[in-house]
Chains A and B, each alone.
Chain A
Amino acid sequence: MSDNLVVRPIVQATALTKQVSTGDEQLTILENINLEVNAGDSVAVVGASGSGKSTLLGLLAGLDTPSSGKVHLDGEDIFLLDEDARAALRGRILGFVFQSFQLLPALTAIENVMLPLELAGISNATTAALELLERVGLGTRLKHYPRQLSGGEQQRVAIARAFVTQPQLLLADEPTGNLDSTTGAQIIELMFELNRERGTTLVLVTHDEAISSRCAWRIRLAGGKVVN
């Protein structure tokens, strides 16, 4: 890990607020969130259901737009970009792991892992995907479809897909939420291992205190506000 990676903020949120209108009412989901995550850090966003964790993650990734406030990803003010430019930025520096895996059912394990590389027009997608699937322990399940894999295996494929583009920042949304505790623990172990190996920055949304304690620091949300 080089020194400049440690000091440079990879993601920075400034006065981030998200409101939605439900009928006549304005509902504030996130209010004035400020945070800075430096390259190489691991951050857990914790809080009860409905506290705004996933909304924050969506905003940090530029999947959603805030009511006010800014997000800088790798130094770039992402809400000054249009949706396509944000997508390109995501493709370049972000990796995702979701609670519901989000594998494409029509694609085999290896094809799912190859997809982000193919979308980015990278030529040796097969080799890279193969290498990562072996790394996550699915070297023998390459041609299996998601429905032929267990939940834990599907999440491993998703992790391989997240790391295959060598992202600078990995965003994980309740990665163990759909798994039993043993499998969940294995998945978390795997994610942290890869994170260490590849020097990736990690932002992890969870309501599991045990998992969050493995991260370098925590942001606790309650009622849309940072409470710690």
Chain B
Amino acid sequence: MNIFKLSFRMLRRDWRAGELRVLAFALVIAVGGMTTVGFFADRVQLALSRQGNQLLGADLIIFSDHTLPSQYAEQAKRQRLAISTALKFPSMAAKGDNSLLTEIKAVTAGYPLRGELRISEDFGDTSPRTTRIANAIPAPGSAWVDEKLMIQLALSRGDTIEVGTAHFIVTALITQEPDYSIGFINLRPRVLINTVDLPATGLVQQGSRIGYRLLVSGDSGEVENFRKWAQSRLTLGERIEGIRDARPEIKAALERAEKFLSLAALASVVLAAAAAALAVRRFTQRHLDGCAVMRCLGASQATMLRLYMYHFATLGLIASGAGCLLGFVAQGALAFWLSGLVEAELPWPSVWPAVHGLLTGLVLLLGFALPPLLNLRSVPALRVLRRDIGMSNTHSLTGYALGLAALSVLFLWKAGDVRLGASVMGGFAAAIAVFGLLGFLLVKALSHMRGQTGGALRYGLASIRRRATASVVQAVALGLGLMALLALTLIRDDLLQNWRTSLPPDAPDHFLVNIQADQLEPLAAFFNQHKIAQPPVFPMVRGRLTAVNDKPIASGDYNDIRAKRLVEREFNLSWAQEMPSDNQIIKGHWWKSGDSGKAVMSMEEGIAKTVGVGLGDKLTYDVAGSTFSATITSLRKVDWDTFRVNFFVVTPPGVLEKYPATYITSFHLPPKQMDVTNQLIKAFPNLLVIDVATIINQVHKVIEQVSKAVEFVFLFTLLAGLAVLYAAIASTQDERIHEAAIFRTLGAKRWQLARAWAAEFAILGGLAGLFAAAGASALGYVIGEYALNLTYTFNPSIWLTGVLSGMIGVTAAGLMGTRSALSTPPLITLRNI
């Protein structure tokens, strides 16, 4: 027999009869919400990383200390990626008798591929200068210089400078260079020239210290493919970097952004699951009689199972497809609405969110439809004679375990982060268990209260007790839904707020490096004079790692390119009594006040991992010709996106003081006082001033955009929440219609019934709200603390919000949903029984 045909026909009939609307609605909203989140998150993430890439000047850069093999550029061209090259090397630049060590950068047309190169023709002292975006690179024979060089060589527009054996006419002042901030080291004054002029300088020779760069940009998928292709072909001295490799601050901000968005998506997955479970439960309840009749008419269990499996799979495909379509349309509307808010133009999303949505819809439906379906096939045929015989619940537990397992896989997959996925999933699983148990206990306890109450409340309590299982299922589902919404609200408001405060508007945006001990006082006077708050100053000793546990090491001992570089380079070592507030101990302990002078150190965990050392390891550094050893007693996690001065290695006071130290500080400079940097450079020519305002702005923008995106995504989660509410109310609808008919036949007035039901819904909503508040507080804490690394402060108002919103929401929705039950004439209902 063609069961599929029959099942399709039954699907059509069920649809026509309105049997599937609740389930289909829940699925469409759920998949729709999820794909919207998926599509939008995809687009925002693409836009965010592209915005991040503006700081890099490209989507990807290959760095090399030798001429780059042509294979990279050729491959990039084959993949239709835009390319541009840049050469960087230190050289003296001279005007007349004055000369200065500068960083020369020679670029080819197209530079920069991402972000803006801004220049000014205004060489005067005026502030702010009029600037414009450079739409080309310096013409052959001309050079663009930065402010430092202009000040120190007293350059004016049209002056000639000498670089190597070539002469250049200075035609513009660089005011913003996209890749300026990559790497804090060696920030010498900059000169930008055209690559065609390089040979004339005579500086590119065998043995010259030249950094070669290939800048690549284009379609994100192709860039990723190129990255993979190139990664495996890198040789010694070559490395590849995207924005995430280059800037830890932007990397941290982007990662948090991604987590926020996936959390919002995950919340709608939970809601979808709850809605699907409720809707399928109702469907099976309504099909018990039909199944018994079919069993009676000769259908085998296998036939029944296949019949409904096809039925649901087809429904799942159609509803998920419709959901994907809805998601696509909604994200289009969202992108349009946000077009003024998100500065970057949103790139087109990939098809993956649609595939994910489709799969998610099917997995959810089957995960949560299968257990009741398994029961449906074993409905005893005897039910045709004795309606009191229901279905066994033998498959419920195992079945829902399957659903939960399917959901867990989805979580881990959607979260893309095992820790986050596991904590959210574990939270929900524990919540279901605890809510279920509490629900049963509370329903039992409440039913004992029935004797002490009167009127509507008494009837409401009686109804809850009578429908004990259904009531607990409803309360758990509603509780889960509310919990997801509350948790998301918490995360959105509290955690986003914490993120914002971690980078306040007056966060330090300028670093001062290379301060000498004897300059500390004059510098403090300078800050006083310019009414800038005295920033904390940190000592810094430079040392090269030479041995681990007394065993000498060399870069050749490491395979990892980053580790090799770390070993070749000098570390910045510092000392402090107190741990900086934005640091967190992961392992070990910070020192006590009596530990001054002890040879111990605290290391940043990432660096420790790269170098392959841990607690108890003894590290030896070469500091200005003498050796210094200390044992690691703690590993720290550093919040790089706070823009405060941080060190990979810190010791207690009294250890490093005998070595030559320079000092470093960071401070906030209001935009109005930007000319202070010029005066600073004039007053302290040896200081390096590093301006990170651009990066801070970028991080601020990321935070703002993510906040808005999360708010929008939240709307969809809210819609999914409504689907749960609808499904929960509908799950007892039939019983209510029946009940209303009997009560009204017995003379009950409509308002009496409505009041009794309102009492029942209010109790249910209150229970759900209570569950939700408890669950959301726990979840907020776990997610904040362990997954997002943000401190979560408990919010007592959530209990009131949870219980009240549960009571009001469920009562309102319940009464709206049961309107038809109240208005159906009793005779019609009773005739249909």
Contact = CB atoms under 8 A, between A and B. Distances in A.
Contact of B13 (A61, A83, A111, A119): A111
A120 B1 contact: yes
A227 interface: no
Contacts of A115: 293-294, 297
Interface in A67-120: 83-84, 87-92, 94, 96, 98, 100, 102, 104-108, 111, 115-116, 118-120
Contacts of B384: 63, 96, 98, 102
A26 B293 CA distance: 29
B293 A92 contact: no
Interface in A15-65: 54, 57-58, 61, 63-64
**Interface of B: prevailing SS:** helix
A145 B17 contact: yes
Given A57-B385, A104-B290, A106-B19, A116 B832 contact: no
B298 A120 contact: yes
Given A58-B382, A87-B381, A106-B13, A121 B300 contact: no
Interface centre among B294, B298, B301, B832 (most CB of A within 10 A): B298
Interface in B267-323: 289-290, 292-303
B2 interface: yes
Contact of B385 (A58, A84, A104, A120): A58
Contacts of B301: 83-84, 87
Given A58-B382, A63-B380, A145-B17, A91 B297 contact: yes
Contact of B2 (A63, A96, A104, A121): A121
A80 B260 CA distance: 61
Contact of B17 (A63, A96, A106, A121): A106
A18 B585 CA distance: 73
Q: Size class of A's contact patch?
A: 35 or more
B13 A116 contact: no
A92 B13 contact: no
Interface centre among B297, B299, B300, B380 (most CB of A within 10 A): B297
B380 to A, nearest CB: 7
A58 B17 CA distance: 30
Contact of B303 (A96, A100, A119): A119
Nearest to A115: B297
Contact of A119 (B1, B16, B387): B1
B381 A119 contact: no
Contact of A88 (B17, B293, B300): B300
A151 B833 CA distance: 11
A98 to B, nearest CB: 6
B298 A119 contact: yes
Contacts of A64: 380, 382
A173 B297 CA distance: 15
A84 B303 CA distance: 10
B832 A147 contact: yes
A119 B296 contact: no
Nearest to A104: B290
A166 B555 CA distance: 90
Contacts of B672: none
B299 A87 contact: yes
B531 interface: no
Contacts of A90: 296-298, 381
Contacts of B293: 102, 104, 115
Interface in B16-67: 16-17, 19
B14 interface: yes
Interface centre among B1, B301, B381, B386 (most CB of A within 10 A): B381
Contacts of A116: 297-298
A50 B713 CA distance: 60
B381 A105 contact: no
Nearest to B5: A118
B449 interface: no
B302 A118 contact: no
A106 B385 contact: no
A218 to B, nearest CB: 20
Contacts of B10: 106
A94 B381 CA distance: 13
Contacts of A173: 385
B1 to A, nearest CB: 3
B6 interface: yes
Interface string B510-521: 000000000000
30 contacts: A54-B386, A61-B381, A63-B384, A64-B380, A83-B301, A84-B301, A87-B296, A87-B298, A87-B299, A87-B300, A88-B300, A90-B298, A90-B381, A91-B298, A94-B298, A98-B384, A100-B387, A102-B293, A102-B384, A104-B289, A105-B832, A107-B17, A108-B13, A111-B9, A111-B13, A115-B297, A116-B298, A119-B298, A119-B303, A147-B832
Interface of B: 1-2, 6, 9-10, 13-14, 16-17, 19, 289-290, 292-303, 380-382, 384-387, 831-832
